[in-house]
Structure 1
């Protein structure tokens, strides 16, 4: 049984993944018409034993637009002419999606304007106010 290392400590058994192959469409001549080089990977996130409950919740939440109603992630690959390279490509795309979904975003740190920035802002405000004041007609005395 092969182990597949994903991101954030998730290790899948190959038995959890369902691989399907099909004939790839598009140009490529006679070779494409006779070989099943297109690869489809299906992984049931909802029932995966490799995930903690928190990881499962985060994946189901963040990948919801890419999942079927049963919680199955489906990735297809037919970029390359060989089935082997398409399998590698699909696995890499799985790793990338899982890593992005499991990443915990760092909270934004609020910053303050520097002293020079505050001084420039006030100086520019005074300059604009002077320009506008000089446009007014003079007051009668």
Structure 2
């Protein structure tokens, strides 16, 4: 499965099991196995960079197993092939999202003018509050 121009996921790393779906389908749903449980062995993968693997683990959350596999379940469609392509698309999107490195945070510092404005506003507020006191009451 081709993810990006440089990354190709081997089909041997993807395991698909077909299970009975719990969604719509009437009596037919009890007889057919149209839902797909896709299992991607991330621990055995060698094509993804280590940083992308770490981001993928964080993105997957509870869908990651202890042995390093990503498990996706697709059962929103009645047809097996549509569920299969849905699961593969979701895997592709997750991996593409993990490949994007976050931008490094730049420390922001308020400008000198904004600091002066804040201090001036604070002094003004202090003056307004001090005028509310009764005359002659010193602390």
TM-score (norm 1): 0.77
Q: Deviations over 1:22-69 (max 9, x none)?
A: 2211332133233321011111111124334x2575257534643222
Contact 2:34-2:75 within 8 A present in 1 as well: yes
Distance (Å, rounded) in 2 between the aligned partners of 1:119 and 1:59: 42
| Residue in structure 1 matched with residue 104 of structure 2 by the alignment | 107
Distance (Å, rounded) in 2 between the aligned partners of 1:98 and 1:44: 13
For residue 84 of structure 2, the aligned residue among 78, 81, 87 is 87
Distance (Å, rounded) in 2 between the aligned partners of 1:55 and 1:113: 33
Question: Secondary structure of the equivalent of 1:84?
Answer: helix
TM-score (norm 2): 0.78
Question: Secondary structure of the equivalent of 2:87?
Answer: helix
Count of residue correspondences: 136
Q: Which has the higher strand share?
A: 1
Contact 1:45-1:59 within 8 A present in 2 as well: no
Structure 1 unpaired stretches of 5+: none
Structure 2 unpaired stretches of 5+: none
Distance (Å, rounded) in 2 between the aligned partners of 1:61 and 1:77: 19
| Residue in structure 2 matched with residue 26 of structure 1 by the alignment | 23
Distance (Å, rounded) in 2 between the aligned partners of 1:64 and 1:75: 11
